[in-house]
Amino acid sequence: MNALIVAGLLLVLLGVAYQSGWSRSRALATANGVKVHSRPQYHGSYVAIWAMIPALVILLLWAWLGGGFTRDYIVSQIPQETVLALDQAGLNATVGRIQAIASGYGVVGEVQPYEQAAGAALRSFQFLSFAIVLVLAAVAGGGALLYARSRINARLRARNAVERVVGVVLLVCSAVAILTTVGIVASLITEAIRFFTFIHPFDFFFGTVWAPNNAGTGGHYGSYGLLPLLSGTLMITAIAMLVAVPVGLMAAIYLSQYAPHQLRAVAKPIIEILAGIPTIVFGFFALVTVGPFLRDMGNFVGLSINATSALTAGVVMGIMIIPFVSSLSDDILNQVPRTLRDGAYGLGATQSETIRNVLLPAALPGIVGAFLLAVSRAIGETMIVVLAAGNAPVLRGNPFEPVATITVSIVNQLTGDTDFTGPQSLVGFALGLTLFVITLGLNIVALYIVRRFREQYE
Amino acid sequence: MATDTLSTVEASTERTRKIRASLRRRHLSEAIFRALGLAAIIVALGFVALLFIDVFRKGIPAFVQSNLHLSVTFSPEVIDVGPAPALADFPSQAEYQAASLAWQRQVAMLNWNQIIEASLREAAPEGFEIDSRQILSIPETNARHQVREMFVANPSLLGQTVNVDVLASANADNWIKGNINRDLGDAQQQLSPPARTLIDAFVDNGTITSGFAWSILTNVDSRSAPAAAGLLGAFVGTLYMMLIVIVLAVPIGVAAAIYLEEFAPKSRLTDLIEVNINNLAAVPSIVFGLLGAAVFINWMHLPISAPLVGGLVLTLMTLPTIIIATRGALLGVSPALRQAALGMGASKTQMVFHHVLPVTFPSILTATILGVAHALGETAPLLLIGMKAFVASVPATPLDQATALPVQIYLWQGNENRNFFEPRTAAAIMVLLAVMILLNGVAIYLRSRLEKRS
């Protein structure tokens, strides 16, 4: 209700301000035929911006501080001896009761006379304070409106003023992207530093045992060695690359060099569907279909393959990355100048010889860049690994056994836990920082390579 | 001289032979290379097909569910409570609420299972021997809540007999569909032998029929009554998050792109912003979850598990995508358009907002929809901000506890009753994929339509 009134007030103010600026400007233009610097809608916007700013500031101030004022007022209405007799929780309960009485909803149980009185007083206080704030906002907005309106004349550069405001708004929006990065880096680093006050960085980065004491029993924290997680991450990433790079690269080569137009028009979007499928779906696919299939295949040839293993997660992650590799490679192959290809054909090379001996070497830096981007994506992938890698944080080299990765451990250590007090949850941020640094490094190198490659052929 | 010519001819035939041989080899390797390329395409397409076929094959049966048609008698012997309190009898709303809650508690304490059991026995064949625990394993456990809520909503049902459809339990549904091997011994079966016999009898006499499983779409998640577990709560949670993403990410993203592409002076700072945005687009999504947990929940104390926080995290994740796509679109606008606008005396702001931006509208729209569709499927960051909590209600506002479609999939795949929940998870995936395909389809349609017009 109150929010609706406030929104209504702001809308009315906006409309009135715009209209008054606009009509004033029209009057100027038609009255004596002078040349007005700005068009009427800019004068309207100019007045509207002037009117909105003080009104918004007052309302925001009240939204920020109003709750505290109201509470202070309620407490002041409760008799002194009652306040002293209550603890914090009891006081909160009493304040809640008084608010319920004031809202007309009523409370269960006997109403103390002081509660009744305080409720009535609160009611008028709330009404009065809201009315005062509203009137203040309206008066301030109206005053600014009149001031801005009075400034309107033929020489006022309203358009420039409005455009400056627009420019500032645009600048603030692009700052959000910077702030996100700052937020990520700051939160990861501060929480990771808190983690390192519990666990020595050396034990974290070079420890070979991952056994956090999540229950917190026995007075020790457990061990937090990164290496088992890192090895699991790298093993799964390597398997994923073994699947994705040959298939993705060959698919890109075939589609861009050989495929008839119709096949390309059909196959390309279908492969790109893979890129749009949520990773949780791949995880489910890995868990219920690929894992059991690989296990049965293993039994068939006499290998013991776990249904949830590095292999399962890696293969499915590879499938997920195929479109990523193929569309990046496709872009890069298309950037190699036609003249190189035509030269090779002119010398009598076959199509595959041209591709292998001319096109691919020329495109190699770009393809390496694409490869690194794919690696970075595989390292950061979470849901497939959570579901299908088996979560066994042990240092081992057998891809047929369950493993755990950095991302899985972040999910395990942080899910549902938000009081970041012990190393059990804080380690999530240290892992996150490691992940962030690795992927950032890969991305920077990859983007640099790709950019250099593009410049080479521009 | 003659021998020389001969040797030249010989040499030439020798060379031709060599070239022929090497050509055969080269053509063979060409064919092999080509076949490898085709194989790669087939493998990639095969994976897409396999994934869809697998999910559909598993999920479609879950859209059919067994229902029990019972005639339930609200017998006064069992339902032994006073009349429901009326608002007029109480001084304040709060007192009425309290009395009403007390009455509902009384109603809840009644043995509603007795009523369900009586109606089940009535439907069973004459003289069928089965004990109460066994017979009550046939309907889903929420049947008693369903009947109780009917009574709370309409206390005048007391003493009447009405037809009620309730869901068969997850175990009964597994038995009917054959999701559990019917030949397994009693020890491995979830249901007792008399219950299994009675279910088959119910199927034969029409008390149990199969119907479309509306419960998947219209119910909220449930732990105690798995057969009644649905996606509605998760769907609404996802909807709130998508709204927040659209309301925040689109204006901010487009504005940022306009600033960077059109207004920003070319300086170190703008270079930094550019590198920064490209890198943000490649930051693993789980890192955004860490950001949300540390900043929005731990520092700003926004409510945990709320779609608001989820929406904010996904907004930050989607922003780089929208900024990059919008910048690409702005870059593609022909310089002639800009110069014409400037030449006619438009200011730079007017040129951008009146002439350049409208032309890029189709690309921005498509990029936005694709970005939102991508955010829709994101799971990992939501797990870190507590959205994997079990929520058995539809969130009324974006500040209430909620979960999201992909997280619901994650929760269901972990359910112990695998026979029942594996198909249900696949069904939930089908719903998620349907939403994504719908969004992508809309994007493609709008793009082709708008591009044709302009």
Same-domain check for residues B137 and B37: no
Percent of chain B with pLDDT over 90: 25
pLDDT value of residue B6: 67
- Confirm or reject contact between A3 and chain B (CB < 8 A): no
pLDDT value of residue B418: 81
- Confirm or reject contact between B66 and chain A (CB < 8 A): no
Same-domain check for residues A275 and A372: yes
pLDDT value of residue B3: 59
Pick the last residue of a domain from B23, B45, B60.
B60
Q: Cα(A107)–Cα(A105) distance, rounded to whole angstroms?
A: 7
Query: How far is A172 from chain B, CA to nearest CA, in Å?
Result: 8
Residue at A263 is within a domain: yes
Nearest CB to A183 within list B256, B258, B291: B291
Same-domain check for residues B163 and B242: no
* Residue range B82-103: mean pLDDT, rounded: 80
Angle, vertex CA B130, rays to CA B124 and CA B134, nearest 5: 100
CB A36 within 8 A of CB A154: yes
Residue at B208 is within a domain: yes
pLDDT one-digit tens code per residue, A118-135:
888 888 888 888 889 889
B22: Cα separation from own chain's centroid: 57
Residue at A192 is within a domain: no
Pick the last residue of a domain from B186, B220, B254.
B220
A100, pLDDT greater than 60: yes
Same-domain check for residues B249 and B360: yes
- Residue B454 or A342, more confident: A342
Nearest CB to A284 within list B383, B386, B425: B425
Q: Which residues 85-144 in chain B show a CB within 8 A of chain A?
A: 91-95, 97-98
Angle, vertex CA A438, rays to CA A436 and CA A440, nearest 5: 65
Residue at B227 is within a domain: no
pLDDT value of residue A278: 92
CB A354: neighbour CB atoms within 10 A? 19
- Confirm or reject contact between A352 and chain B (CB < 8 A): yes
Same-domain check for residues B75 and B53: no
Which chain A residues are closer than 8 Å to B258 by Cβ? 170
Same-domain check for residues B23 and B9: yes
Q: Cα(A358)–Cα(A373) distance, rounded to whole angstroms?
A: 24
pLDDT one-digit tens code per residue, B8-62:
888 889 889 988 888 899 999 999 999 999 999 999 999 989 999 999 999 998 8
The dihedral through the CA atoms of B390, B392, B398, B401 has a sign that is negative
Residue at B439 is within a domain: yes
Same-domain check for residues A127 and A229: no
Q: Phi/psi at B166 (nearest 5 deg)?
A: -120, 160
Nearest CB to A278 within list B27, B289, B379: B379
Pick the last residue of a domain from A116, A137, A156.
A156
pTM for this entry: 0.86
- Confirm or reject contact between A299 and chain B (CB < 8 A): no
Of B392, B256, B374, B393, residue with least CA distance to B314: B374
Q: Cα(A12)–Cα(A272) distance, rounded to whole angstroms?
A: 49
* Residue range B418-445: mean pLDDT, rounded: 89
Nearest CB to A250 within list B36, B93, B288: B36
**Is A55 in a helix, a strand, or coil?**
helix
pLDDT value of residue A130: 87
Query: How far is B272 from chain A, CA to nearest CA, in Å?
Result: 9
Non-local (6+) Cβ contacts of A174 within 8 A are B255, B256, B257, B259, B260, B264, B273, B323
Pick the last residue of a domain from B60, B87, B105.
B60
pLDDT value of residue A76: 83
Residue at A166 is within a domain: no
Residue at A163 is within a domain: no
Q: Phi/psi at B19 (nearest 5 deg)?
A: -65, -45
- Confirm or reject contact between A239 and chain B (CB < 8 A): no
Same-domain check for residues B104 and B142: yes
Which chain B residues are closer than 8 Å to A382 by Cβ? 284-286, 379-380
- Residue B82 or A209, more confident: A209
Q: Do B384 and A270 touch (CB under 8 A)?
A: no
Which chain A residues are closer than 8 Å to B433 by Cβ? 277, 281
Percent composition of chain A: helix, strand, coil (DSSP 3-state, to 5): 80, 0, 20
Of A66, A65, A20, A26, residue with least CA distance to A46: A20
* Residue range B299-313: mean pLDDT, rounded: 87
Residue at B330 is within a domain: yes
Count up the domains in chain B and report the number.
3
Query: Which residue bears the tokens 């930094």?
Result: B272
The structure tokens listed for B244 are: 């927040």
> Which of A76-90, B98-112, B426-440 holds the top average pLDDT?
B426-440
Same-domain check for residues A232 and A380: yes
pLDDT one-digit tens code per residue, B276-302:
888 888 899 999 999 998 888 888 888
Q: Cα(A188)–Cα(B4) distance, rounded to whole angstroms?
A: 83
pLDDT value of residue A102: 78
Domain with A102, as residue range(s), is 2-156
CB A254: neighbour CB atoms within 10 A? 26
Q: Do B33 and A443 touch (CB under 8 A)?
A: no
Same-domain check for residues B352 and B254: yes
Which chain B residues are closer than 8 Å to A108 by Cβ? 94-95, 97-98
pLDDT one-digit tens code per residue, A20-31:
888 888 888 776
Q: Do B41 and A191 touch (CB under 8 A)?
A: no
pLDDT value of residue A238: 95
B429, pLDDT greater than 90: yes
Which chain A residues are closer than 8 Å to B95 by Cβ? 106, 108
pLDDT one-digit tens code per residue, A414-458:
875 556 777 888 889 999 999 999 999 998 888 888 888 777 776
Banded pLDDT at B4 (limits 50, 70, 90): low
Q: Do A169 and B255 touch (CB under 8 A)?
A: yes
Residue at A128 is within a domain: yes
Angle, vertex CA B40, rays to CA B39 and CA B44, nearest 5: 115
pLDDT one-digit tens code per residue, A213-254:
776 666 677 888 899 999 999 999 999 999 999 999 999 999
Same-domain check for residues B192 and B54: no
Q: How many CB pairs under 8 A join A and B?
A: 279
Identify from A280, A415, A427 which residue to disrupt to test chain B contact, counting B C-beta atoms within 10 A and taking the largest count: A280
Domain with B416, as residue range(s), is 232-453
The dihedral through the CA atoms of B95, B99, B104, B109 has a sign that is positive
* Residue range B266-278: mean pLDDT, rounded: 83
